A and B are shown apart, each in its own frame.
Chain A
Amino acid sequence: MLDIRNLQVRAEGNQILKGIDLHVGAGEVHAIMGPNGSGKSTLARVLAGHPEYEVNGGEVAYEGRDLLAMDPDERAREGLFMAFQYPVEIAGVNNAYFLKAALNAKRKHHGLPELDAMEFMQLVGEKAKLLEIDRTMLNRAVNEGFSGGEKKRNEIFQMALLEPKLAILDETDSGLDIDALKTVAHGVNAMRSPVRAIVVVTHYQRLLEYIVPDFVHVLSAGRIVKSGGKELALELERRGYGWIEAA
């Protein structure tokens, strides 16, 4: 599904990613761990198409297509979804209105009829229950005045609604208390499927207790320095990042 080869990325004059190789197949859950500043979030944001990064080497294939040649909105309509580490507050844009526009943009792209208000609300009702999304959250402006936990739940709620093929969760666990973490993890686990891949970017092992990965990669100073199974996360928890960075 996702093939990253020797990806090199610069931002504001700094070389942040120095040659990333990663292969993510359908049905797999990958965790990308690493200390602050290792480039984890940069990787997530580059895959989503954030304009502040400059790719200066390597390539990324998404379902056999050149991902880097696609605009961010096209990536999204083609089934890539990034849950933001810091979801943006958008004053004046009603959450439900925004979600309907996003969903219908994707449906239109795939030649499906757009959902009307009734169909949309029915779908929203199902997904909202899964993530314990309060109806009032739908009628507020996108993320505006949401608590940290509400923002993260709203991200995963969007993901549940948009049903991506490739989901990238950028530090979705940061700032969540244990109850919110469980809710979010429950939402993500409900989305696990043989046709969907999930990449979880996180600093801590805690989230991985609830979203159990098939593969764990450790990113350090812009490179993947170690890959393994889920037990690698436990080892990192026990020993910290120092032993890998030193290696």
Chain B
Amino acid sequence: MQVAEKLQPWLAALDERPKSGPRWLQDLRGRGAARFAELGFPTVREEEWRFTNVAPIASTAFRPAPAGRLAPEQLDAFLYADAPFRLVIVNGRFVPELSRTRGLPEGMRFGSLASAIQDDPDVVARHLGTIADFDARAFPALNTAFLEDGAFVHVPEGVVIEEPLLLLFVSVADGAVMAHPRTLVIAGARSQSRIVETYVGNGDQAYFSNAVTEVFAGENAIVDHYKVQEESLDAFHIASMHVHTDRSANVSSHSFALGGRLVRNDVLATLDGEGSEVTLNGLYLADGDRLVDNHTTIDHAKAHCPSHEIYKGILGGRARAIFNGKIIVRPDAQKTDAKQTNRALLLTDDAAINTKPQLEIFADDVRCTHGAAIGQLDEDALFYLQARGLTFHEARDMLIHAFAGDILDRVRIEPLRRALESELYAQLARDLAEADAA
């Protein structure tokens, strides 16, 4: 139930939203604020939020996070922080002295979104907020209302940058604070880039991170994107990524969800150019009382577009997960080839997942496949390995690592893959030890 009183502190906070910047930005924020005021927080009565109750967020009086301080060596604790190029955004604000932006190709923009709003107002205004639809989405509306800073990546036409570009979002929280980081990626025609977004936080703080990312892939552009979410285990992480592809563009995005207490990750990709391609893969891990909700939408708007999707989860404790994979095939999107797979491994009897594929097909000459498999480890495989001399624990680890490895092996940035693997395996070892002790 959406109680108006409950929303009151939020509306008051919205009145205090940033007022700086050009007119169009103020308008954009104003529209976000107005939309949020109308929508309020989603409730479990809404289909899209049936299993994810955000009341713990709605009922907390989060303050806007103040500028956080971080010594450079503190970054070492974070996974893959040592990337050659990085933007460090602390509590939603770009921190130049922690960032590494030297040596990038001519014409490339890689820096703070706030600066880009000043320095490249035309490009930014043309893109920002145009695909992160907040008409029916409360959290992107909230993010837009508070829009002030974040990351801006613009790879010019024809530029190929091999080194990964890291966007490191850190929450340095002291109590109930919130940040609304915003990312805008514009990949010019025929450009190639690799982008890694990581979301991390300190200690066991119950902060709220509400992120929105927009990715525009121009004609023939290739974008290899990764998102690593390793927030504090008490944090709330709500994020959406919106992708738009032009003709023959190719965007792949891999999502790794390792942290957070209540996590909602939306990925919405619109294949809006013929022959463009999108790959959305994900791997999530949850234990304790954590909840991880992944919602993806792949919207085939034009013909001859393939899409590939594999999401896998490993759940222990009393963890809950939701996977909802929607595929829309518009009337013009003939020759669509969409594949979706969703698998989850439950390590305990108390872990649970709700999963739903949703196909909405309005064209006739298309191929769409989806499959879901939820369950325990394969008993026959376990016995086979044991019958060759591996202990139960060795056999189990081998099967679980193989399950996760299927996604990990798709990471094309080797140091990132290794870092993810060791972090993931360490977490798994803890979860399994806990499951064994129970």
Q: Does A209 contact B (CB under 8 A)?
A: no
- Residue of B with least CB distance to A89: B381
Q: Does A115 contact B (CB under 8 A)?
A: no
Q: Does B380 contact A (CB under 8 A)?
A: yes
- Establish whether residues B386 and A90, one from each chain, have CB atoms under 8 Å apart when the complex forms: no
Task: Enumerate B370-388 residues with CB–CB distance to A below 8 Å.
Answer: 378-381, 383-388
Q: Does B64 contact A (CB under 8 A)?
A: no
Min C-beta distance of A40 to chain B, whole Å? 17
Q: Given A71-B392, A98-B398, A101-B398, are A92 and B405 also a contact pair (CB < 8 Å)?
A: yes
Taking a contact as CB atoms closer than 8 A, the residue among A50, A84, A109 that contacts B389 in the complex is: A109
Q: Report B-chain residues with C-beta under 8 Å of the C-beta of A58.
A: none
Return the CB mask of A73-89 against B: 1 if under 8 Å, else 0.
Answer: 10111000010100110
- Establish whether residues A87 and B384, one from each chain, have CB atoms under 8 Å apart when the complex forms: yes
Q: Does B399 contact A (CB under 8 A)?
A: yes
Return the CB mask of B262-305 against A: 1 if under 8 Å, else 0.
Answer: 00000000000000000000000000000000000000000000
> Considering the chains assembled together, what is the distance between the CA atoms of A84 and B387 in angstroms?
10
Task: Enumerate A170-188 residues with CB–CB distance to B below 8 Å.
Answer: none
Q: Given A51-B383, A84-B384, A105-B394, are A92 and B389 also a contact pair (CB < 8 Å)?
A: no
- Residue of A with least CB distance to B405: A92
Q: Report A-chain residues with C-beta under 8 Å of the C-beta of B406.
A: 91-92
Q: Does B390 contact A (CB under 8 A)?
A: yes
- Residue of B with least CB distance to A94: B402
- Residue from A71, A73, A77, A158 with most neighbouring chain B CB atoms (10 Å): A73
Q: Report A-chain residues with C-beta under 8 Å of the C-beta of B398.
A: 93, 98, 101
Q: Given A50-B383, A88-B381, A105-B394, are A93 and B402 also a contact pair (CB < 8 Å)?
A: yes
- Residue from B380, B388, B398, B406 with most neighbouring chain A CB atoms (10 Å): B388
Task: Enumerate A139-176 residues with CB–CB distance to B below 8 Å.
Answer: 141-142, 158, 162
Taking a contact as CB atoms closer than 8 A, the residue among A76, A92, A141 that contacts B387 in the complex is: A76
> Considering the chains assembled together, what is the distance between the CA atoms of A84 and B381 in angstroms?
12
Q: Report B-chain residues with C-beta under 8 Å of the C-beta of A98.
A: 385, 388, 398
Taking a contact as CB atoms closer than 8 A, the residue among B387, B392, B399 that contacts A90 in the complex is: B399
Q: Report B-chain residues with C-beta under 8 Å of the C-beta of A106.
A: 389
Q: Does A133 contact B (CB under 8 A)?
A: no
Min C-beta distance of B225 to chain A, whole Å? 24
Q: Report A-chain residues with C-beta under 8 Å of the C-beta of B378.
A: 88, 90
Q: Does A49 contact B (CB under 8 A)?
A: yes
> Considering the chains assembled together, what is the distance between the CA atoms of A158 and B395 in angstroms?
17
Classify the secondary structure of B's interface with A: helix
Q: How large is the interface on A (under 10, 10 to 19, 20 to 34, 35 or more residues)?
A: 20 to 34
Q: Does B354 contact A (CB under 8 A)?
A: no
Q: Does B422 contact A (CB under 8 A)?
A: no
> Considering the chains assembled together, what is the distance between the CA atoms of A82 and B384 in angstroms?
10
Q: Does B101 contact A (CB under 8 A)?
A: no
Q: Does A48 contact B (CB under 8 A)?
A: yes
> Considering the chains assembled together, what is the distance between the CA atoms of A172 and B35 in angstroms?
68
Min C-beta distance of B101 to chain A, whole Å? 38
Q: Does B403 contact A (CB under 8 A)?
A: yes
Q: How large is the interface on B (under 10, 10 to 19, 20 to 34, 35 or more residues)?
A: 20 to 34
- Residue from A71, A77, A92 with most neighbouring chain B CB atoms (10 Å): A92
Q: Report A-chain residues with C-beta under 8 Å of the C-beta of B387.
A: 48-49, 72-73, 75-76, 82, 84
Q: Given A92-B402, A105-B394, are A76 and B384 also a contact pair (CB < 8 Å)?
A: no
Q: Given A72-B386, A76-B386, are A92 and B392 also a contact pair (CB < 8 Å)?
A: no
Q: Does A61 contact B (CB under 8 A)?
A: no
Q: Report A-chain residues with C-beta under 8 Å of the C-beta of B391.
A: 71, 73, 105
- Residue of B with least CB distance to A80: B387
Q: Does A102 contact B (CB under 8 A)?
A: yes
- Residue from A50, A141, A158 with most neighbouring chain B CB atoms (10 Å): A50
> Considering the chains assembled together, what is the distance between the CA atoms of A48 and B406 in angstroms?
30
Q: Report A-chain residues with C-beta under 8 Å of the C-beta of B389.
A: 73, 76-77, 102, 105-106, 109, 162
Min C-beta distance of A199 to chain B, whole Å? 15
> Considering the chains assembled together, what is the distance between the CA atoms of A109 and B388 in angstroms?
13
Taking a contact as CB atoms closer than 8 A, the residue among A51, A91, A92, A158 that contacts B388 in the complex is: A158
> Considering the chains assembled together, what is the distance between the CA atoms of A50 and B386 in angstroms?
10
- Residue from A51, A87, A90, A102 with most neighbouring chain B CB atoms (10 Å): A90
- Establish whether residues A101 and B383, one from each chain, have CB atoms under 8 Å apart when the complex forms: no
- Residue of A with least CB distance to B404: A92
> Considering the chains assembled together, what is the distance between the CA atoms of A82 and B388 in angstroms?
9
Q: Report A-chain residues with C-beta under 8 Å of the C-beta of B388.
A: 76, 98, 102, 105, 158, 162
Return the CB mask of A99-111 against B: 1 if under 8 Å, else 0.
Answer: 0011001100100
- Establish whether residues B403 and A73, one from each chain, have CB atoms under 8 Å apart when the complex forms: no
- Establish whether residues B380 and A102, one from each chain, have CB atoms under 8 Å apart when the complex forms: no
Return the CB mask of A200-220 against B: 1 if under 8 Å, else 0.
Answer: 000000000000000000000
> Considering the chains assembled together, what is the distance between the CA atoms of A76 and B394 in angstroms?
14
Min C-beta distance of B185 to chain A, whole Å? 32
- Residue from B379, B384, B395, B399 with most neighbouring chain A CB atoms (10 Å): B384
> Considering the chains assembled together, what is the distance between the CA atoms of A91 and B404 in angstroms?
11
> Considering the chains assembled together, what is the distance between the CA atoms of A183 and B381 in angstroms?
26
Min C-beta distance of A92 to chain B, whole Å? 3
- Residue of A with least CB distance to B398: A93
Q: Report B-chain residues with C-beta under 8 Å of the C-beta of A88.
A: 378, 380-381, 383-384
Return the CB mask of A45-75 against B: 1 if under 8 Å, else 0.
Answer: 0001111000000000000000000011101
Return the CB mask of B223-243 against A: 1 if under 8 Å, else 0.
Answer: 000000000000000000000
- Establish whether residues B390 and A102, one from each chain, have CB atoms under 8 Å apart when the complex forms: yes
> Considering the chains assembled together, what is the distance between the CA atoms of A72 and B387 in angstroms?
5
Contact sample, A vs B, 20 pairs, CB 8 Å cutoff: A51-B383, A71-B386, A71-B392, A72-B383, A76-B386, A76-B389, A82-B387, A84-B384, A88-B381, A88-B384, A92-B403, A92-B405, A92-B406, A93-B399, A98-B385, A98-B388, A101-B390, A106-B389, A162-B388, A162-B389
Given A88-B380, A90-B384, A90-B402, list of 16 further CB < 8 A pairs?
Answer: A49-B387, A71-B392, A73-B387, A73-B395, A75-B387, A77-B389, A90-B385, A92-B402, A92-B403, A92-B405, A92-B406, A102-B389, A105-B389, A109-B389, A141-B402, A162-B389
Q: Which residues of A contact B (CB under 8 A)?
A: 48-51, 71-73, 75-77, 82, 84, 87-88, 90-93, 98, 101-102, 105-106, 109, 141-142, 158, 162
